[in-house]
């Protein structure tokens, strides 16, 4: 069975997208679906390439039992558009930046559309405090649960297993 590859994207790859990567990976692991997904994150900008993620993202993840401390920021690469099944941007500005890099890519989605069904942007918590990171975590958790439920059930049915994530 082919693994579904997902790339979460925000501006600098230090706040929202690494947290989304950690949340989705954690949920997939808890559901026994780790082998069904390849998950990564990237930024549309290069300011933080190679850096640790924002300490508040790391702390928020750790508070919820998720370790993202080994991840490092990276910028989106041209190959990512072909290598990932889903490229999921945290806000409309990042969707626009991704489409500017590859106008023909049909795998670019807004997190608020694909995962939440609300069309909302996930706000950048960088200039705020810990409460903003917790609010982002809550939206990412809700969306990643829905996304995993949908994708997990789809990949299970393709493999002949009809069970789904609850």
* pLDDT beyond 50 at 159: no
Residue 65, domain member (yes or no)? yes
Count of the separate structural domains present in the chain: 1
* pLDDT beyond 80 at 160: no
Tens-digit pLDDT profile for residues 93-141? 999 999 999 999 999 999 999 999 999 999 999 999 999 999 999 999 9
Q: What percent of the chain has pLDDT over 90?
A: 89
Catalytic residue among 15, 16, 91, 121: 16
54 is catalytic: no
Residue 77, domain member (yes or no)? yes
Give the HSE-up count for residue 45: Cα atoms under 13 Å, Cβ half-sphere.
11
CA distance to 141, 159, 166, per residue, from 124 (Å): 16, 37, 29
CA distance to 10, 17, 28, 44, 81, per residue, from 101 (Å): 14, 18, 30, 9, 9
pTM, entire model: 0.92
Q: Residue 35's domain spans which residues?
A: 4-158
Give the CATH number for residue 108.
Answer: 3.40.50.2300
Q: What is the pLDDT of residue 78?
A: 97
55 is catalytic: no
Q: Tell me the pairing of strands 108-110 and 37-43.
A: unpaired
Q: What is the pLDDT of residue 154?
A: 60
Catalytic residue among 36, 124, 139, 144: 124
10 is catalytic: yes
Nearest Cα to Cα of residue 148 among 41, 16, 8, 23: 23
Residue 166, domain member (yes or no)? no
Residue 164, domain member (yes or no)? no
């Amino acid at each position: 069975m082919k693994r579904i590859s997902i790339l979460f994207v925000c501006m600098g790859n230090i706040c929202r997208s690494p947290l989304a990567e950690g949340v989705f990976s954690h949920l997939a692991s808890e559901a026994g679906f780790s082998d069904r997904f390849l998950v990564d994150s990237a930024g549309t900008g290069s300011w933080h390439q190679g850096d640790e993620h924002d300490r508040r993202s790391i702390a928020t993840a750790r508070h919820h039992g998720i370790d993202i401390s080994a991840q490092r920021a990276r910028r989106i690469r041209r190959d990512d558009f072909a290598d990932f099944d889903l490229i999921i941007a945290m806000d409309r500005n990042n969707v626009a930046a991704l489409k500017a890099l590859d106008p023909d890519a049909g795998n670019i989605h807004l997190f608020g559309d694909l995962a939440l069904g609300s069309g909302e942007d996930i706000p950048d918590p960088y200039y705020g405090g810990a409460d903003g990171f917790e609010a982002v975590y809550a939206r990412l958790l809700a969306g990643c649960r829905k996304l995993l439920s949908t994708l997990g059930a789809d990949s299970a049915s393709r493999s002949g297993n009809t069970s789904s994530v609850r």
